[in-house]
Structure formats: structure tokens, C-alpha cells
Copies of this chain bind each other. A is one copy, B any other.
């Protein structure tokens, strides 16, 4: 039976980390909200599950995955669940917790990237918190991006099995795919701030480039199925929030 991925229609957002794993593995999946209503798909199908008063284990928010009767919510949790099934997790049990720890650190970065444009409230428009967004984005560019990226660079260098090419273990994992997405997203949102990424974080950028060239990822990018970045997503390009750094 196909996996069912539930996520907001029209944006990459957190769902994209899951899509990249499903696409790399050529897994059979349905992107539920992007399907037709007459087939029981669409956003209504997702809202019905989110609002259900009878579902034994209702999710709090998208993305969530449905595998038969089991609903698995939260991006990192979905990837932890899918990783071994898709051949995208380390074989070693201990390293799977290392992978999950890295994925949760990536999730923290994603939340901070989101909060650059919504530092006060997700219930207010960006325009209504623009000054605060400028302050938070400035801190993110100056302090947070370097702290996370230096760490990820170090993870690649210190991974004893990865030959500086994999975040964990000696083969491609979902964490590598997520690192690709982090570089893509930060470059889209902050082209000035990320201009010298390849100089500062050469192994992270090399990993990004290697993932981009993988046949299934390249085919996915060319297919039209990958929604372009836009200003409904997590990574948004507001030029006034971007700035050059050395």
C-alpha cells in the first residue's frame, strides 16, 4: 500500500524533507492534499484527520504520514520511521539515534528560519511584524546560521565512516537529503548572506551538490512535482531581511 503524505498544498515547507526521501527511494506515495477531491484527496481529507474526534492518535499539525492505520506525525519522526524502510538510515542501531539527533538539529534550524519572518506570531501577517523580523533575521544571519553551519561542517569532518561525504554512517541517509534542502532553502531566502557558503562550509556545499546530482533527486527537480520555493513556505525571500556577510 502506498504511503500517504499529508502536508499543506502549495509549499515545500517541512513536507519537502519527507518528499526528498520518498523520491530518492522511488517509494510509492500519495501527496494527499495535491490530489483530486473526487478521489477523496485534497486539503479536506487532511483537515478531516486533523479535526477528527474519533482518530485514536490524532496529529497536531502537518506534515504527517499515514502507513496503513498508523499515523506518524512530525518531520523528524516520519524520517526516523521511514529511513530503514527506504534504505536511507544507517544499519547500525546506535547510529540511527545519531541520525535522529542530527535531524532534530536540522528541525531546530528550520524553526529558526521560519521565525525570521514571523518572530512575534504566526497569526499575524509578515507585514505586521516586519521590524521585529528585521532584528531577528539579522541575528539569524550573524549568529545562528554560522553556528549551525559550522557544526554541520564539523559533523562531516568528524564522521569516522563518512569520508567527509555523509553526515552519519558510510552511505547516503535521509540526513544528507535534508542537508541538501537546508542549503537550498537558505540560499533561496538569503542569497546575500549565503554567497560565500562554499568558502566557509566546503563539505556541506559539496554534499549539497552531490545530492543535487543524484539521478532520482535530479529527476524529481526536473519533474515539476517539486514545488518552487515561495513566500508561503518556511524559507521566504524578503530582500529586506537579507544582508551580506563576509
Cα of A56 to Cα of B74 in the assembled complex, Å: 27
Q: How many copies are assembled? A: 2
- Tell me whether A73 and B101 are in contact (CB under 8 A): yes
Contacts A70-B97, A76-B104, A101-B59 hold; do A53 and B158 have CB atoms under 8 A apart? Answer: yes
- Tell me whether A135 and B155 are in contact (CB under 8 A): no
Stretch binding the partner chain, chosen from A118-126, A190-198, A215-223, A224-232? A118-126
Residues 155 to 190 of chain A near chain B (Cβ within 8 Å): 155, 158-160, 168
Residues 60 to 80 of chain A near chain B (Cβ within 8 Å): 60-61, 64, 70-74, 76-77, 80
Cα of A34 to Cα of B54 in the assembled complex, Å: 46
Contacts A111-B111, A121-B139 hold; do A77 and B100 have CB atoms under 8 A apart? Answer: yes
Cα of A97 to Cα of B100 in the assembled complex, Å: 13
- Tell me whether A120 and B135 are in contact (CB under 8 A): yes
Contacts A132-B132, A139-B120, A143-B121 hold; do A77 and B101 have CB atoms under 8 A apart? Answer: yes
Contacts A73-B105, A81-B97, A97-B70 hold; do A143 and B158 have CB atoms under 8 A apart? Answer: no
Tally of chain A residues near chain B (CB < 8 A): 48
9 smallest beta-carbon distances between A and B, as pairs:
A121-B139, A73-B101, A74-B104, A60-B105, A57-B98, A70-B94, A56-B160, A74-B101, A77-B100
Q: Which residues of A contact B (CB under 8 A)?
A: 53-61, 64, 70-74, 76-77, 80-81, 94-95, 97-98, 100-101, 104-105, 108, 111, 115, 119-121, 123-124, 132, 135-136, 139, 143, 148, 151, 154-155, 158-160, 168
